Structure 1
């Protein structure tokens, strides 16, 4: 539990009115002194590299552009001099600059380059710092468990050297990782240790980060008064050390806490301050957080029009941020694949060149030998014969090599096809998640937020309940289809055939499907009265029934009718799903069961991912059945599929009874035989 801080120690002062502390003036004095020394030292040597790295480190929280300029010059000069230590710290400074912009992938690239060089030097202190940096990157990338591996290694290295300032930093960062894991008690243990060490060192710069983390813990525990006090302390220390990225985060944290406490005027001032600071930094993540807090502030003011506008801005940036991360991952995968492909091609070309050179060399030998053979006719005959045999061997070897190259090319083409297929699966999954699944969930999140904060009464919420339920159920069916399709595409699905009652399987799904139909005023009924024992995979046939019936509901307008019937023929059960809905245009009928994922909106703008019918066809055929349809545009459609009958049909003679019982937990009817 976080202790309360006496309010007299942290009276709120607007960030723009905080005066520079003595430590800030001392830091600025140090920067000016280093700048003068650098200007005076024009010789391109290791001393200049060290001065450039020191200035880059001091500037990265004040002015990222200047810090990047010093870091680039230090790295280039270190490369020219072969100065490994200078190159390590230049890469580390450039990584910190990328962090202020929110470019975590670029930061990780620079940090790993520095770590690789540091491992060749065996410098424990540098390795401790760089492992700490990598841990921080994984925390910001929402991978706290991976972060803890590097942070604990960093702490172990720093404890070997007993460097208290560096130990305090890593303790704070371990606390950050536990915050990301929502383990606040564990986080506070490390944060209190870090605070104790930093207070003893009078480390104002480090205390700003620790108090920010303590404020976040208090917010997670909903102790907003305590959170406000810690964030005020963090803001003061960030201001005192002229830490621009820290000031931006502090302003956002204060605005969020003040919104929760009802101090809306102060929250707006801090939001405006954060936006002004972030315009210079250009941090996309901070901009996304700004719109999220602005949405909460507008909701607290009952300004729902502005709240909706800012929530849309937050959602768009959230989706853009997700798509950006996805694009980066795809780009990295493609670059890696292209690099490996070029390496294989270069290796094959090199082998071919060696073979050609060997052939040319042998031809030269042949010419010289032919000139010498003029001296002796007998020797000519012997040498020509031997050279002919040797040349045949060379041609044989060359043909063998050509066959190897051809085989390797064939393997590469197969690998390309496999990778392209996997990329299509991945792109389809990303597309469905980022567009078809995120939209209904974002709308549901917004409505639940308004209901939670009592911005919308229960009667208004019930007005949207039926539509929300239908959208969420369609989204669940869409997710089920997508997961089954992805597993099928990756060859991870197998048929588990068994004897089961098709009528009972339909009845188990029918209650929920009837509820969906009633939502659209569509009559749904079936004519399967007796048991139909079939031999197939029940889970696959369940998905086929659900997809075909749900598809009929989707394209049948209000007042329409859907009838499910069956018949027996040639040892198969043939199931028919007939509707009088919109039907399928003749020009589009060839796409229904093709590999082209075809999807249109339903009569009430219901969405789909285009996988249901394609997946149904695959599952029916895997179970030795057939599937087809007939349709007339504007009059309706009939979908048919067959399932092999079981060898054991005695159950039809015995019969059974289906009883619907109410489930006291879910409120839905349960089938009992």
Structure 2
């Protein structure tokens, strides 16, 4: 759907409204200064000023809102509490704290519902709908927004109706239903033009520009965003200026006006540094990457795309935490509901018992007059009461058993939730990050924006990152399996030296990538009795950890000694060492992870899992570390009863192949 932009003459006369707004602020400030009494009049003045200041200076708005809330709490002034809470919620919106804004707005809505004031309910339902739209839940938003519109139309409040119409248009934009969005936005524009509402028109024209962008009408989108930016500036709306600058930069990039796009990006970044809005910062790096790509500056484009990807991951984690919190709240509510049902049944049982006892007492009193039957009746009453007590005790035991089962199920669910949260954390951060970098490089290579020779420059680093990620996934899967269903030890006799040699060549390749010398001194066969897969993972984790924290030019040596029926294996490096204040966390239940000398990442499970596997195989593991000088990790494993002192030894020699340039493993 196309639409021509017509700017009525009345819009050229809108600037006096800005001066009138500033005059109104000055007048309210004078009245506030002249009224120091801590009463409801001062609360109303503070709330009015806080509402006007939140787009100009969020800090001033927050201070006024907090003062209004404190005075209202002391006076028990409910109306003041509602508007002060709503203003503090708007301040959180400028910071990008949508969860906190939603909680404050729902608190205000709860107070308003108790009062039953329609105008306040219409405004607060509109606010809740806006928050759900920003949280990418437009269907939930439409429920509150349609309710708000219904209330405002009953009150015939044209300014408030125009706001809600605009916000319904925003929700349909999030649903990608541009025709419906434009229908509501056009109705909102018509009302705001009649009211000469500059502040409201800024939001409506911003949404119309977004609709035009979704329909690939970039020139139309540019004109709408220019109008939106002008009205945001006229009303000193700093968050709005930031959004308008980002929108203009994106459209200008698509139209090839790169110089203007960069200017608007710089404006958005300068303002957002003051506001601290995380979502706007993420959008800035995304548009900056597109601008660099349009200029054929692919190195800068990749750097800014990585910055966008990192912030996008943080935003994803925030969304994930929000969903987990909602699930936990729902679970607790269902749990309390089940407990209430059980308590109600118990109360009904006790009431029934009491009523039966009352009937029995009354019957006994009546039968007491019959002297001939008194003995028989008392005996019957006694027996019946004993049966009731036995039934009650049986019910109590059944309830206790059910409570114990529920507690055990809750503990199991909590453990599974911890495993799930850790897996989600590793996948969403440590696994997505290297994949995002690889995706960015492949994107450039696919569109011929970087040639194969330039791509090969990054292959070594990509190979190392992917291999580290593979090791992290191995550790994570082993840990998750261990937590959720347990791992059984499959001990057997095997040659520790041979097992090491099978893994050594790959680890040697990873060490060469960092210019680290890796060698071992296991000269003969060492027969041990343990689970070979577990010991293989322990060796791999300890050696990979040493490579991770040893800088280029460093050295790693593997040693082995036989003593008192055990084999002691040590992995010694001259790397960065472990800070003294962190050494107590290495083998604790706290998952501790830091980046390596070349920013290698880990999930914090390797050493914890290694300790578990060594101890399952009746061994011990420990370490010695000096910061700045290196570390030595050692573990023991039982020797086999069939230890052959004359077994054939192995010697590992790494030589450079003069033809291929690769190292060759000889025994």
Question: TM bucket by the smaller chain?
Answer: 0.5 to 0.7
Decide whether aligned partners of structure 1 residues 44 and 255 sit closer, same or farther in structure 2, where only a CA change above 3 A counts.
same
1:515-554 residue pairs with structure 2 within 5 A? none
1:80 and 2:71 correspond: no
SS in 2 for 1:61: coil
Q: Name structure 1 gaps, 5 residues minimum.
A: 10-17, 346-395, 492-552, 559-584, 615-632, 636-673
Query: Do 1:155 and 1:170's aligned partners in 2 also have CA atoms closer than 8 Å?
Result: yes
Partners of 2:650 and 2:400 in 1: CA distance:
55
Decide whether aligned partners of structure 1 residues 452 and 28 sit closer, same or farther in structure 2, where only a CA change above 3 A counts.
farther
TM-score for both structures, normalised by structure 1? 0.58
Decide whether aligned partners of structure 1 residues 261 and 609 sit closer, same or farther in structure 2, where only a CA change above 3 A counts.
farther
Of residues 220, 240, 244 in structure 1, which corresponds to 2:238? 244
State the match for 1:129 in structure 2: 123
Offset, 1:2: 3.4
Of residues 201, 208, 215 in structure 1, which corresponds to 2:202? 208
Decide whether aligned partners of structure 1 residues 339 and 280 sit closer, same or farther in structure 2, where only a CA change above 3 A counts.
farther
Please list the CA deviations of residues 572-613 of structure 1 after superposition, one character each: whole Å capped at 9, or x if unmatched. xxxxxxxxxxxxx9988464899xx99999xxx9999999xx
Decide whether aligned partners of structure 1 residues 610 and 76 sit closer, same or farther in structure 2, where only a CA change above 3 A counts.
closer
1:19-30 residue pairs with structure 2 within 5 A? 21-30=15-24
Decide whether aligned partners of structure 1 residues 119 and 606 sit closer, same or farther in structure 2, where only a CA change above 3 A counts.
closer
State the match for 1:2 in structure 2: 2
Offset, 1:179: 1.1
Please list the CA deviations of residues 93-134 of structure 1 after superposition, one character each: whole Å capped at 9, or x if unmatched. 110000000000100010000000011111121111111111
Partners of 1:458 and 1:554 in 2: CA distance:
31
1:409-558 residue pairs with structure 2 within 5 A? 410=404, 413-439=407-433, 441-443=435-437, 445-447=439-441, 449-450=443-444, 455-456=449-450
1:180 and 2:174 correspond: yes
1:653-664 residue pairs with structure 2 within 5 A? none
Query: Do 1:292 and 1:311's aligned partners in 2 also have CA atoms closer than 8 Å?
Result: yes
Of residues 158, 181, 192 in structure 2, which corresponds to 1:164? 158
Query: Do 1:128 and 1:154's aligned partners in 2 also have CA atoms closer than 8 Å?
Result: yes
Decide whether aligned partners of structure 1 residues 599 and 413 sit closer, same or farther in structure 2, where only a CA change above 3 A counts.
farther
1:271 and 2:271 correspond: no
Partners of 1:166 and 1:8 in 2: CA distance:
22
Partners of 1:329 and 1:587 in 2: CA distance:
43
Partners of 2:255 and 2:32 in 1: CA distance:
49
State the match for 2:190 in structure 1: 196
Of residues 58, 68, 88 in structure 2, which corresponds to 1:64? 58
SS in 2 for 1:182: coil
Decide whether aligned partners of structure 1 residues 43 and 261 sit closer, same or farther in structure 2, where only a CA change above 3 A counts.
same
Decide whether aligned partners of structure 1 residues 67 and 486 sit closer, same or farther in structure 2, where only a CA change above 3 A counts.
same
Offset, 1:3: 2.0
State the match for 1:285 in structure 2: 279
Partners of 1:634 and 1:57 in 2: CA distance:
79
State the match for 1:302 in structure 2: 296
Offset, 1:85: 1.1
Decide whether aligned partners of structure 1 residues 165 and 441 sit closer, same or farther in structure 2, where only a CA change above 3 A counts.
farther
State the match for 1:314 in structure 2: 308
Offset, 1:433: 2.8
Offset, 1:203: 1.0
Decide whether aligned partners of structure 1 residues 41 and 333 sit closer, same or farther in structure 2, where only a CA change above 3 A counts.
farther
1:133-148 residue pairs with structure 2 within 5 A? 133-148=127-142
SS in 2 for 1:298: helix
1:212-227 residue pairs with structure 2 within 5 A? 212-227=206-221
Offset, 1:173: 0.8
Decide whether aligned partners of structure 1 residues 328 and 588 sit closer, same or farther in structure 2, where only a CA change above 3 A counts.
farther
State the match for 1:104 in structure 2: 98
Partners of 1:226 and 1:554 in 2: CA distance:
62
1:34 and 2:2 correspond: no
Partners of 1:266 and 1:8 in 2: CA distance:
27
Partners of 1:203 and 1:186 in 2: CA distance:
23
Offset, 1:453: 6.0
1:94 and 2:88 correspond: yes
Partners of 1:172 and 1:600 in 2: CA distance:
60
TM-score for both structures, normalised by structure 2? 0.59
Decide whether aligned partners of structure 1 residues 161 and 7 sit closer, same or farther in structure 2, where only a CA change above 3 A counts.
closer
Of residues 148, 151, 168 in structure 2, which corresponds to 1:154? 148
Decide whether aligned partners of structure 1 residues 587 and 41 sit closer, same or farther in structure 2, where only a CA change above 3 A counts.
farther
SS in 2 for 1:2: coil
Query: Do 2:14 and 2:196's aligned partners in 1 also have CA atoms closer than 8 Å?
Result: no
Query: Do 1:592 and 1:598's aligned partners in 2 also have CA atoms closer than 8 Å?
Result: no
Query: Do 1:227 and 1:257's aligned partners in 2 also have CA atoms closer than 8 Å?
Result: yes
Decide whether aligned partners of structure 1 residues 43 and 336 sit closer, same or farther in structure 2, where only a CA change above 3 A counts.
farther
Please list the CA deviations of residues 438-484 of structure 1 after superposition, one character each: whole Å capped at 9, or x if unmatched. 2354235424653676534799889999x999x99x999x99x999x
Decide whether aligned partners of structure 1 residues 22 and 458 sit closer, same or farther in structure 2, where only a CA change above 3 A counts.
farther
Decide whether aligned partners of structure 1 residues 598 and 169 sit closer, same or farther in structure 2, where only a CA change above 3 A counts.
farther
Partners of 1:226 and 1:43 in 2: CA distance:
53
In angstroms, what is the RMSD of aligned CA positions? 5.2
Query: Do 2:426 and 2:603's aligned partners in 1 also have CA atoms closer than 8 Å?
Result: no
Offset, 1:236: 0.2
SS in 1 for 2:412: helix
Offset, 1:77: 1.1
Partners of 2:169 and 2:249 in 1: CA distance:
23
State the match for 2:222 in structure 1: 228
Partners of 1:263 and 1:250 in 2: CA distance:
16
Decide whether aligned partners of structure 1 residues 450 and 96 sit closer, same or farther in structure 2, where only a CA change above 3 A counts.
same
1:258 and 2:248 correspond: no
Query: Do 1:600 and 1:607's aligned partners in 2 also have CA atoms closer than 8 Å?
Result: no
